[in-house]
Amino acid sequence: MTIHLHQGDLPDGLSFADARDASVAVDSETLGLNPHRDRLCVVQLCAGDGDAHLVQLPKGQYAAPNLKAVLTDPSLTKIFHFARFDVAAFMRWLDVSTTPLYCTKIASKLVRTYTDRHGLKDVLRETVGVSLDKQQQSSDWGAAELTQAQKEYAASDVLYLHDARRRLDEMLAREGRTAYARACFDFLPTRARLDLAGWAETDIFAHA
SS3 of 37-56: the string is: CCCEEEEEEECCCCEEEEEE
Taking the alpha carbons of 152, 162, 24, 194 in that order, is the dihedral positive or negative? negative
Measured distance CA(154)–CA(96) in Å, rounded = 22
Read off the pLDDT of residues 146-189 as tens digits, 9 standing for 90 and up.
Answer: 999 999 999 999 999 999 999 999 999 999 999 999 999 999 99
Q: What is the set of domains in the chain, with CATH numbers?
A: 2-199 (3.30.420.10)
What ranges make up the beta strands (E) of 70-172?
A: 77-80, 101-103
DSSP 8-state class, residue 34: -
Measured distance CA(2)–CA(9) in Å, rounded = 18
Instruction: Tell me the pTM.
Output: 0.96
Read off the pLDDT of residues 48-74 as tens digits, 9 standing for 90 and up.
Answer: 999 999 999 999 999 999 999 999 999
Per-residue pLDDT, 200: 95
User: Greatest CA separation found in the chain?
Assistant: 52
